[in-house]
Amino acid sequence: MRYCLGFFIFMMSCTFMFSQEKDGNVARVQDSTRLQKARIKEKDRSDRQGNKPKIEDYKKISFSSDTTYIDTTLTIKKEYKFNYLRKDNFNLLSFANIGQTYNNLSYDRVEQNTIPLFGARARHFNYMEVSDIDYYKVPTPLTELFYKTAFQQGQVLDAFFTVNTSKNFNFSIAYKGLRSQGNYRNTLTSTGNFRFTSNYQAKNENYRVRLHLVFQDLLNQENGGLTDDGVSNFVSGAPEFDDRGVFTPQFENAENILEGKRYYFQQELDIIKKVDSINPFNLSIYNTISGENRYYQYTQSASASNFFGESFNNSINDKVELDDFNANIGVRLVNDVIGNLDVQLNYNKINYGYDAAVFTESGAISNRIKENIFKFNSDYNKSIGKFDFSGSLDINLSENFSGNFTQAQIDYQFRGGLKFVASISNQSRLPNFNFLLYQSDYLNYNWDNYKEFKNERSQKIAFSFLADDIINAHVDVTNISNYTYFAQTSDAENGMIKPFQYNNSLQYLRVKLEKEFKLGNFYLDNTLLYQTVNNDQSVFNVPTFISRNTLYYSNRIFKNAMHLQTGIVFNWFSKYNMNGYDPLLAEFYVQNQQQLGGFPRLDFFINAKVRQTRIFLKAEHFNSAFTGYNYFSAPNVPYRDFTLRFGLVWNFFL
């Protein structure tokens, strides 16, 4: 946590440095040139005070170049996002300690990606990918501090600072750090996400550059969950087990860590620039270069053969690494008549694997997957009246890593703010790398499926009807072939978790409804998700219903000096065969022996905004003591107990 404190002090120093007023005593200025500059600065300062920048001038630019502005309002959506991930986690069920993993309650199976992902997906919820990095343009220096208490000797702090040193050049620097001991043995979490971004635009606006640097380390101690006796004692609710530290876990000597570092650079040059109707289009060329190294490591001072099976060594040290270099060159055409077209040629150099091959009784396990992948990408969009058309096409041109992605979407804007969206998409790619190749000091965790597993194929049709005054409705149907998953084998008692590929197709339906009701200053915000899966072997398990209902009061008090929101959030999902968690793989696996869920989670919150500060106070899961101790995040892994949490988000506009 000393790194968080040091970074906090640095951020505050930047804030105060940019906010310092120079001495107004011009008699101290001896040189006439300096005197003139001082007077100009004084005049500029007066102009700034008389023309204070608007909040809309503080712009945030996404990876896809969508531009919004810094939002300092207090809404119920901010309550949902005030968490470690700083995202709405409606579809996620957290583990007991902040910074641990989440169990997915719902899935979006089609993504614009044609290359396998790095494994250890349970450790990636807080890992920031290229698309998670934003860029900024601000009229004055801006600082944001996010703080929230954690469990037992810890807290989470996200400190952010950005400034435009000139009209055309901006940089930002940020660090999110967490350390939390947790209430159960050997569940400490310690994570850090450092980000630096910069963007530049030439004075004639014909040339643009943006770049970022990211360094991340996500460490978790692992204990394998409670023993079966521990689960029985937990469910009993006996007072002697109120101190969760008395439970003996499966083991207390393991930890895993995910580390990554990345650089990203993109530049764009306008060849032909739109001026007026005589020259009605833009033509630009661009290129991107990025490189990323990430590794996942599991260490254990003494093997847990009763949990994972036999091992080669008494101590465990498994490490896998991925080097990914990417370069592309593209052409972008923007035209009022034919629409906007983006075409690019992409090159990826992949190097995934381990230091040496492993030899087992069933044969040799190779240690590397190396490929040079060429890919063609194109995106198109066009607006005609109230219709918006868009489409994407990605194709891998490499034989060993074949894959493709296509999507077509149409939006129609009705009167009164109503909107209808329909889309169809198709994806084909190899399963993630840890399905294809894995090595471990545990005998059971060694496999090479690179030449055996086929591409996963997914087709999705989706419809959305968006009308805040009526209802927001989303429906999607996904067909999945060659679905790849981890599951227990018939020898599960000896630690046998293996990757499998489902040879048939499965169909996955989701219907999501969102509606908020208002009566005076009282609000009832509702989100309901229904989902069902058609597969004959129960290889894809999700709860049938997920519900979140929030009753709250919102008003301005103290002569409008404070905006107050207070209420209760009710979360619930139906019982189902909840996925188990494997700490060695940092992956969830399918199990069909135990149904979990069906427990309510009630949170009471009091939130307030004073000027640019938002304050959050929450009593999490306050019903835990009187609705039964049957709440679990995964088999043998209890959900978090009742706790009081405090935090704030503080913006400084200088």
With beta carbons less than 8 A apart as the criterion, state whether 183 and 151 touch: yes
Burial class from Cβ neighbours inside 10 Å (0-12, 13-18, 19+) for residue 310 reads exposed
Radius of gyration of the chain (CA): 27
The residues, ordered by sequence, that sit 6+ positions from 271 with a Cβ below 8 Å of its Cβ are: 283, 284, 285
Banded model confidence at residue 17, pLDDT cuts 50, 70, 90:
very low
Which of 24-54 are b and which e, b meaning 16 or more Cβ less than 10 Å from the residue's Cβ? eeeeebeeeeeeeebeeeeeeeeeeeeeeee
328: closest CA among 268, 402, 408, 261?
268
The yes-or-no verdict on residue 273 having pLDDT over 90 is no
pLDDT tens digits for range 495-511: 589 999 999 999 999 99
- For residue 559, give the amino acid letter: K
Banded model confidence at residue 489, pLDDT cuts 50, 70, 90:
confident
pTM summary value:
0.90
The predicted model gives 90-97 an average pLDDT of: 97
Place of tokens 């227990």: 488
What pLDDT is stored for residue 106 in this prediction?
Answer: 97
The yes-or-no verdict on residue 543 having pLDDT over 60 is yes
With beta carbons less than 8 A apart as the criterion, state whether 405 and 112 touch: yes
Two tokens, residue 198: 């910069």
% of the chain with per-residue pLDDT over 90:
82
Domains of the chain: 71-653 (2.40.170.20)
Look at the alpha carbons of 330, 333, 338, 340 in this order and tell me if their dihedral is positive or negative: positive
Task: Report d(CA 566, CA 548) in Å as an integer.
Answer: 16
- For residue 529, give the amino acid letter: L
CA dihedral 626, 630, 636, 640 (to 10 degrees): -40
The yes-or-no verdict on residue 493 having pLDDT over 70 is no
Torsions phi, psi of 445, nearest 5? -105, 50
What pLDDT is stored for residue 109 in this prediction?
Answer: 86
pLDDT tens digits for range 426-464: 999 999 999 999 999 999 999 999 999 999 999 999 999
Banded model confidence at residue 31, pLDDT cuts 50, 70, 90:
very low
Question: CA 130: distance to chain centroid?
Answer: 11
The predicted model gives 331-360 an average pLDDT of: 94
319: closest CA among 291, 356, 348?
356
Q: What 8-state DSSP symbol labels residue 554?
A: E
Two tokens, residue 52: 């204070």
pLDDT tens digits for range 316-342: 999 999 999 999 999 999 988 899 999
Banded model confidence at residue 2, pLDDT cuts 50, 70, 90:
very low
Two tokens, residue 500: 């499998």
Task: Report d(CA 9, CA 12) in Å as an integer.
Answer: 5
State the average pLDDT for the chain: 91
The yes-or-no verdict on residue 56 having pLDDT over 70 is yes
What pLDDT is stored for residue 15 in this prediction?
Answer: 43
3-state secondary structure 107-155: CCCCCCCCCCCCCCHHHCCCCCCHHHCCEEECCCCEEEEEEEECCCCCE
Task: Report d(CA 210, CA 197) in Å as an integer.
Answer: 7
With beta carbons less than 8 A apart as the criterion, state whether 479 and 110 touch: no
With beta carbons less than 8 A apart as the criterion, state whether 332 and 282 touch: yes
Instruction: Write out the DSSP string of 245-307.
Output: GG--BS-SSEEEEEEEEEEEEEEEEEEE---STTS-EEEEEEEEEEEEEEEEEEEESS--HHH
What pLDDT is stored for residue 278 in this prediction?
Answer: 63
Angle at 601 between CA 598 and CA 604, to 5 degrees: 165
CA atoms within 13 A on the CB side of 25: 2
**3-class secondary structure, 228:** helix
- For residue 249, give the amino acid letter: P
Place of tokens 């600082």: 143
The predicted model gives 395-423 an average pLDDT of: 94
With beta carbons less than 8 A apart as the criterion, state whether 534 and 505 touch: no
3-state secondary structure 485-512: EEEECCCHHHCCEEEEECCCEEEEEEEE
197: left (phi over 0), alpha (psi -120 to 50) or beta: beta
With beta carbons less than 8 A apart as the criterion, state whether 581 and 627 touch: no
CB atoms within 10 A of CB 296: 23
The yes-or-no verdict on residue 593 having pLDDT over 60 is yes
Task: Report d(CA 319, CA 367) in Å as an integer.
Answer: 11
The predicted model gives 301-324 an average pLDDT of: 95
Task: Report d(CA 296, CA 314) in Å as an integer.
Answer: 20
The predicted model gives 355-380 an average pLDDT of: 92
Question: CA 53: distance to chain centroid?
Answer: 31
With beta carbons less than 8 A apart as the criterion, state whether 219 and 192 touch: no
In 336-367 the beta strands, taken as DSSP E runs, fall at: 339-353, 358-360, 363-365
The yes-or-no verdict on residue 423 having pLDDT over 80 is yes
